Amino acid sequence: MKKILFPTDFSDCATNAFVHALEFAKLVNAELILLHTFEIPVYDSQFFPENYAAIYSSIELAKFEVFKDEIPKLRAIAEERNLGDIVIKHRLMDGDLIYNLRNAVEEDNVDFVIMGSSGVTDWTKFFLGSNTSAVISEIKVPVLCIPADTKFKKIKTIGFTTRYREKDKAELRKVLDIAKKTNAKVKSLYVKTSSSDVSDVTIKEWEKEFAHENIEFLVLPSDEVKETILDFILYKDIDVLTTITHKRSFFEGLFDSSFTKKIAKEVSVPVLVMHET
């Protein structure tokens, strides 16, 4: 059975993402591991010589009580969606979110991380200015990012962006495996700019290799990469957009503020970030 790590701060954004996590767990036959982290503030012990330990104990107890109170609410959501049979485990950890996430992924042999992107007003913050960005950079398993207010719907079409690199094939096969579980079609996009070094021969080889899969390859000539991706999401009815991280500068260069605000206003789809192998 696969394992999905779901970090939550019990906010509305996280609770919305929890529904996506439940449905995805059902799709890939996985258990959910709920992770809540908190950082205890640093106090100078010289000012609290007698009750120094008590301060920390009271903070830990308070966090535990919040955690204990919130878990039944999440289980109720699972029951309401007839997903009460999903195995849900729990982790309450003190310390840095990213440090704890990385440890939890390794210790529990996690296959996916699913998280909401809290406070998102545009995709620049979504990928660069939030915890989501750090998770994408530091956690080397696929991360499914759920924009705030994006309600779950059945996945019928998965978008896959590629640069036709040989190593992209491994990630495409993973996406195809997920698509088969929900009878979804995969639509692969390559934006061919005037400086493109991808040959027509390479494109034809990909089409031949994946000819028996439920996939459509789209090669769109344009130097307006951002606008082309936006049109792809909009007009191809993409339910989940999949991208492969090659390096952080991909996000910095592609999702600038004007474009991200436009996407945030017009498109709100989950993004599955794969890591190149």
Token pair of 115 as six digits: 């998280």
Q: Which of 106-120, 134-148, 216-230, 251-265 has the lowest mean pLDDT?
A: 251-265
Residues 139, 237, single domain; the answer is: no
Residues 114 and 138 in one domain: yes
Q: What is the pTM of this model?
A: 0.81
- Tell me the pLDDT band of 125, cut-offs 50, 70 and 90: very low
Is pLDDT larger for residue 30 or for residue 58? 30
The arithmetic mean of pLDDT across residues 29-47, rounded, is: 72
pLDDT at position 20 over 50: yes
Is the domain of 77 the same as that of 161?
A: no
Which is it for the CA torsion 261, 267, 268, 273, positive or negative?
negative
Same-domain pairing of 205 and 124: no
Selected residue with higher pLDDT from 179 and 270? 179
Q: What stretch of H or E contains 158?
A: strand 157-161
Q: Is the dihedral of CA 9, 178, 238, 127 positive or negative?
A: positive
Q: What is the rounded CA–CA span in Å between residue 13 and residue 41?
A: 25
- Same domain? For 141 and 183 the reply is no
* 52 and 88 share one domain: yes
Number of structural domains (the chain) is: 2
Instruction: Determine the Cα–Cα distance for residues 173 and 6; give it in Å rounded to an integer.
Output: 24
Report d(CA 119, CA 129) in Å as an integer. 10
Q: What's the token pair of residue 64?
A: 């535990």
143 domain residue, yes or no: yes
Contact 96, 104 (CB under 8 A): no
Residue 85 falls inside a structural domain: yes
Q: What is the CATH number of the domain that holds 130?
A: 3.40.50.620
38 and 118 co-located in one domain: yes
Asked whether the predicted pLDDT for residue 56 surpasses 60, the reply is no
63 plus 115 within the same structural domain = yes
- 24 assigned to some structural domain: yes
Predicted pLDDT of residue 149: 79
**Residue where one domain finishes, among candidates 95, 120, 147:** 147
Give the per-residue pLDDT at 66. 64
pLDDT at 40 over 70: no
Whether 52 and 124 share a structural domain: yes
Shared-domain flag, residues 69 and 94: yes
For residue 77, being part of any structural domain is answered with: yes
Which of 113, 147, 181 represents a domain boundary (last residue)? 147
Q: Are 173 and 112 found together in one domain?
A: no
Instruction: Tell me, yes or no, whether 163 and 142 share the same domain.
Output: no
Q: How many other C-beta atoms lie within 10 A of the C-beta of residue 49?
A: 7
Q: Tell me if 152 is assigned to some domain.
A: no
Does residue 277 form part of some domain?
Answer: no
Where in the sequence is the domain holding 176, given as residue range(s)? 157-271
Stretch 40-45: mean pLDDT: 52
Q: What is the mean pLDDT of residues 128-136?
A: 54
- Region 65-81: mean pLDDT is 85
pLDDT at 234: 87
Last residue of a domain, one of 105, 129, 147: 147
Sign of CA dihedral 120, 11, 138, 175: negative
The 10s digit of each residue's pLDDT in 187-227 is: 999 999 999 999 999 999 999 999 999 999 999 999 988 88
